[in-house]
Structure 1
Amino acid sequence: MTITCASLPNYLVAHENFKGWLGGFLQKTGCYSIRRGLGDRRSISHTLELLKKDRARMVIFPEGGCSFQNDAIMPFRTGAIQLPFQAMQSIAKKTKEFPPCYLVPISIKYRYLKSGKNIIEKSLQNLEKHFGIKPGSSDFYPRLRRVSEAVMSNLEEEYDIKPPADADWNDRIRTTRKTVLQLCQDELDVSFPEDFPLRERVYKMQALLIEKANDEFALDLETHEKLYQSTMRLLNFDAIYDGYVGAYPTTERFIDTLTRLEREVFKVEIPQPKGLHEGWLKIGDPINLQDYADQYKGDRQDTIAQLTEKMQFQVQNNLMEMMFDDRPKMDSLV
């Protein structure tokens, strides 16, 4: 989502990406960092100052992280709406007029330039070999489900989860996610409001783990590593659900899911691209915050929540429209 209110845009990017040569490249392209989970006041203050500039352009990724899921988005974080409201209100205090400021939803979808069948076959073979699973057939989908079952069973065993016999896969995914989340919170002695987003919780817990890593009396190395691995699992499986591939069995959805499974099984934190992509963009209708100025004055929280939901819907809807676009046709693998 682009927040447009100077000619070159600025980009708000997670601090972890500013390492090595990539960090230098990002800085030269107008990117600056934010430390997720820490309430990065310096970064927030810088963002507000940028937004106050005449004809400023700001690119923010409101999901707050990469889900590795090409056709589905995670809940938007409200900061992407709240920050421009704050900046415009600050201007209004001086000029006595709330200026125009546009939220522009931009959906990004990636497509593989070549058939992904060889990629899928190789990935399935590696995972099947790890678990000692015989392919049984050449059909990708049943093989994917057998590997997924093995991954899920391993996680349940590791965290001592015994799902009811009638639990479906989504029940098991939710139970595992809830169990791992509670374990991390208990070990770190933190709690969050019930409606606090999962990713926001994880980023705060990871920030706490970094803090405790510098305290020799806080956590032993083994516990620290186990907790960090658990937080990474929560991020990896945050958006996954049963039926994602089955509903629309495209190359991209197969590889999305296989990438998640490989991250878990082979302990890969940042997966490498599996093939050449092309990026497709779809731009939604802009929303002028000026039209919501009075509503924002009356109820800030509700206005921000309403616009966050509206932007999320537009981005998700445009992703689905691109998936069914005839250029090229959907490459079904089932």
Structure 2
Amino acid sequence: MHSRYYVKPYRFQPPDRRTIWAHLARPYVAPYVRRAFGTELSEVTGLEHLQASLDRQAGILLAANHCRSADPLVLGMAGARIRRFFYYLASFHLFQQPRLEVWKLRGFGAMSVLRDTADHQALRACIQILTEARRPLVVFPEGTYYRRNDSVGPLQHGVSLICRRAAHATRRPIVIHPVAIKYWFIDDAEAALARRVTRLELQFRIPPAPGMSLLARVLRISDHALGLWEQEFLGRTNAGTLSERTQQLAHTLLQSIEPRDNVVPEGSIIERVRRLRRSRVNRIAQLGQRRVADPTLCHEMDILYLCQLLFSQSPDYLDGAPSIERIGETVQRLEEDWFDMDCPVAPMTAVVQFGPAIDARAFSDQPARRDQLTAALGEAMSETLAQVVARGRPTLPRRRGRRTTREFQPVHPMISLDEAIGRFHSSSAAFRGWEAALGASQA
């Protein structure tokens, strides 16, 4: 469950441009990632593309897919192989942690951005980084992670805006490198996943079903979880497939908010969410200290966040004979979305591939061309990721001391089901009130 980061006034957090802290921390990053995220970096390909842009002294933006919270650290380890540090554009909510954590983020080169609005300070900082060309800038164009490692989600247009502005501000080349990050379980993780699924069944109060396959159990939990949301907001369970019901619930929730902005429902679920959230983040910024006194905005933002979660579920991701990694991602998404638990299932290995550069100057400053740059980047990211997936799981040498059967334990205990649903009680009550008012006005 997300924190209401938008309630606190936004203050831009610039990166620490010194590399001393990254230099000192470099020997400890890989052991930390292995311990905290159960992940090690086994393979990096395409570094020759990145090195060629570095040799040209180009301003470099690295556009990577985003599926896990370990992604920035994994990219940092990949950059260390050519002795390069990166800057990172990170969501503002990460900077609402204790001061020591914020200091570490900035020391590693991270800077804040307020998503879904025009963050001019972050934009200027990104342009300066590209025009100076001292270190590449890492951006995750999907805006968040969906736990769908085999596909790239819809991209936002921020990368296009940053690169076109930077190209106008300098004569040096400005390029974008698509980057693919792919995770694989090191060994057979089915036993570890089965234990996690059993824990989820207990949390959701679902009776055990001996003899049912792991995939069938995960789909049964997903169906039950969706039914809980339907009951909470609609008072009923819809008919249809899991995919149809997910789309229908998200569409119904968005329809309760869109009339307030006089907008026509256009585009995908996530495009509609971004459009509505952008207007609300701007309104919250205008309210200043009065933002806390407007509960309607908080209810709307909570519902928009739920719609984002519904979009990320993508039941089709488990169609056919899904890989064990896809099943694992679905289990972790259920744990995180419902019970605030982000804990590795089993040890994983990461593969990173850098794609060929895209020249930002090849795209003019007109809106149609801007969309073409975003579309070209999306195609390049998808193609780069598809190449990594097609190669399959890398062959890893057996090393003495590798604990492939490690059982990971959550840092914090899982919250209860009643607490998970209770977080949306006030928002669901507000939703039913909006629906009643809308029905009365139409009558």
Q: Could you say which TM-score interval applies, normalised by the shorter chain?
A: 0.7 to 0.9
1:19-54 CA distances to partner (integer Å, 9 max, x unpaired)? 223322121111111011232111112212222224
1:206 shift after superposition: 6.8
Residues 214 and 254 of structure 1: is their aligned pair in 2 closer, same or farther, counting only changes over 3 Å? farther
CA contact (8 A) 2:60 2:175 kept: yes
CA contact (8 A) 1:15 1:35 kept: yes
CA contact (8 A) 1:4 1:55 kept: no
1:32-85 CA distances to partner (integer Å, 9 max, x unpaired)? 110112321111122122222245521111111111222122111111022111
| Residue number in structure 2 paired with 1:113 | 186
Q: For residue 47 of structure 1, what is the amino acid of its counterpart?
A: C
CA distance in 2, matches of 1:231, 1:32: 25
| Residue number in structure 1 paired with 2:87 | 10
CA distance in 2, matches of 1:120, 1:205: 40
| Residue number in structure 1 paired with 2:216 | 142
CA distance in 1, matches of 2:310, 2:172: 41
| Residue number in structure 2 paired with 1:204 | 278
Map of 1:1-334 to 2, 5 A cutoff? 4=60, 8-18=85-95, 19-20=97-98, 21-54=100-133, 57-91=136-170, 99-129=172-202, 130-160=204-234, 165=239, 167-185=240-258, 189-190=260-261, 194-195=266-267, 197-201=271-275, 203-204=277-278, 207=281, 214-215=290-291, 217-219=293-295, 224=298, 227-266=300-339, 268=340, 271-290=342-361, 292-293=362-363, 296-297=364-365, 300-328=366-394
Q: For residue 51 of structure 1, what is the amino acid of its counterpart?
A: L
Unaligned runs of 5+ in 1: 92-97, 330-334
Q: For residue 322 of structure 1, what is the amino acid of its counterpart?
A: V
Residues 175 and 244 of structure 1: is their aligned pair in 2 closer, same or farther, counting only changes over 3 Å? same
CA contact (8 A) 2:227 2:237 kept: no
Paired residue total? 308
CA distance in 2, matches of 1:202, 1:110: 33
Matched position secondary structure for 1:105: strand
1:225-253 CA distances to partner (integer Å, 9 max, x unpaired)? x5454333223232332231233522221
Matched position secondary structure for 2:312: coil
TM-score (norm 1): 0.80
CA distance in 2, matches of 1:120, 1:111: 14
CA contact (8 A) 2:243 2:315 kept: yes
- Structure 1, 318-327 or 134-143: larger mean CA deviation: 318-327
CA distance in 2, matches of 1:177, 1:99: 45
Matched position secondary structure for 2:391: coil
- Structure 1, 80-89 or 156-165: larger mean CA deviation: 156-165
CA contact (8 A) 1:245 1:254 kept: yes
Q: For residue 219 of structure 1, what is the amino acid of its counterpart?
A: P
Matched position secondary structure for 2:356: coil
CA distance in 1, matches of 2:210, 2:288: 47
1:217-275 CA distances to partner (integer Å, 9 max, x unpaired)? 4228xx94x54543332232323322312335222211111122223443x2x623333
1:212 shift after superposition: 8.4
Q: For residue 179 of structure 1, what is the amino acid of its counterpart?
A: T
CA contact (8 A) 1:116 1:251 kept: yes
